[in-house]
């Protein structure tokens, strides 16, 4: 894992990478977004089980809290401000756009609050994100000038959504609003995993690998294959 050094005081996200900078150009990019109270190393353990064609960057959320980092403040009932979500999305979106020229596709994988970030980025950048993998998380409900949901109604976001129906952390109302949003805005593959709780199972990681291989890498192969 390669540390990316970020000067103090900059809004540029801090990232760790799966490979060296000279190996990244021309590779599909997969960006990992951790959950509330975690850190950038948390999801890097998934990398060996994911397709090796990707350059993987795992970001650290910008706001330190007592036991880790958060993307935006959450109340005890998981309520939040859409303006704070927008503030978190803007620097990550700018960073992704800077990297876009070096990568044929950008895919986002978010866990818990990281899924809220991943889907918010995709709503802000319609057509710029190849797919979102959301694990044990939610889509932020409501409308905001940051989001271009009308574009996603025309060209739905490709999305994998994995969760345990007995997840003790994500409130049912957020699950329901996520399902409602996905119905209108996403081409979604929904998979439920019993006994996982608020976590990620090996079976789920295997399904994510298959999804990335067939949906993201498969689409790239179809684009560059010559007509017969």
CATH code of the domain covering residue 86: 3.40.50.1820
How far, in Å, CA of 153 to CA of 141, rounded? 16
User: For residue 214, what are the domain limits?
Assistant: 2-222
Residue 103 is assigned to a structural domain of this protein:
yes
Q: Which of 99, 208, 84 is nearest to 142 (CA)?
A: 84
How far, in Å, CA of 77 to CA of 153, rounded? 30
Contacts of 125 (CB under 8 A, 6+ apart): 93, 96, 97
Three-state DSSP class for residue 67: coil
Residue 135 is assigned to a structural domain of this protein:
yes
Vertex 128, ends 183 and 49: CA angle to 5°? 80
Mean pLDDT, rounded, for 63-81: 87
Distances (CA, A) of 219 to 50, 76, 108, 211, 212: 17, 41, 16, 11, 10
Residue 127 is assigned to a structural domain of this protein:
yes
Query: Using DSSP, how many helices (H) and how many strands (E) does the chain show?
Result: 6, 10
Task: Give residue-wise pLDDT tens across range 171-222.
Answer: 999 999 999 999 999 999 999 999 999 999 999 999 999 999 999 999 655 4
Q: Which one is predicted more confidently, 66 or 68?
A: 68
Mean pLDDT, rounded, for 78-102: 93
Q: Which of 92, 101, 95 is nearest to 121 (CA)?
A: 92
Residue 228 is assigned to a structural domain of this protein:
no
How far, in Å, CA of 137 to CA of 163, rounded? 8
pLDDT exceeds cutoff 60 at 158: yes
| Burial grade of 22 (CB within 10 A; 0-12, 13-18, 19 or more) | exposed
10 pLDDT band, cuts 50/70/90, is very low
Its pTM surpasses 0.95: no
Residue 126 is assigned to a structural domain of this protein:
yes
State how many domains the chain has. 1
Residue 76 is assigned to a structural domain of this protein:
yes
Three-state DSSP class for residue 103: coil
- Whether residue 69 contacts residue 61, with contact meaning beta carbons closer than 8 Å, is answered with yes
Residue 112 is assigned to a structural domain of this protein:
yes
C-alpha 60, offset from chain centre: 13
Residue 44 is assigned to a structural domain of this protein:
yes
């Amino acid at each position: 894992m390669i540390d990316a050094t970020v000067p103090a005081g900059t809004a540029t996200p801090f990232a760790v990478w799966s490979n060296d900078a000279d190996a990244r150009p021309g590779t599909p990019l997969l960006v990992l977004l951790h959950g509330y109270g975690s850190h950038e190393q948390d999801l890097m353990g998934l990398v060996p089980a994911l397709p090796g064609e990707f350059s993987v960057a795992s970001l650290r959320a910008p706001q330190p809290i007592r036991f880790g980092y958060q993307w935006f403040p959450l109340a005890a009932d998981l309520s939040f401000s859409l303006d704070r979500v927008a503030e978190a999305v803007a620097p990550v979106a700018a960073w992704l756009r800077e990297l876009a020229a070096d990568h044929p596709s950008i895919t986002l994988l978010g866990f818990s609050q990281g899924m809220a970030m991943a889907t918010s980025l995709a709503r802000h950048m319609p057509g710029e994100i190849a797919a979102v993998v959301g694990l044990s998380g939610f889509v932020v409900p409501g409308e905001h000038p940051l989001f271009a949901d009308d574009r996603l109604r025309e060209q739905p976001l490709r999305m994998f959504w994995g969760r345990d129906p007995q997840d003790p952390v994500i409130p049912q109302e957020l699950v329901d609003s996520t399902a409602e949003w996905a119905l209108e805005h996403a081409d979604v593959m929904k998979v439920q995993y019993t006994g996982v709780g608020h976590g990620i199972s090996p079976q789920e990681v295997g399904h994510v690998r298959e999804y990335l291989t067939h949906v993201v890498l498969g689409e790239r192969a179809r684009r560059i294959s010559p007509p017969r």
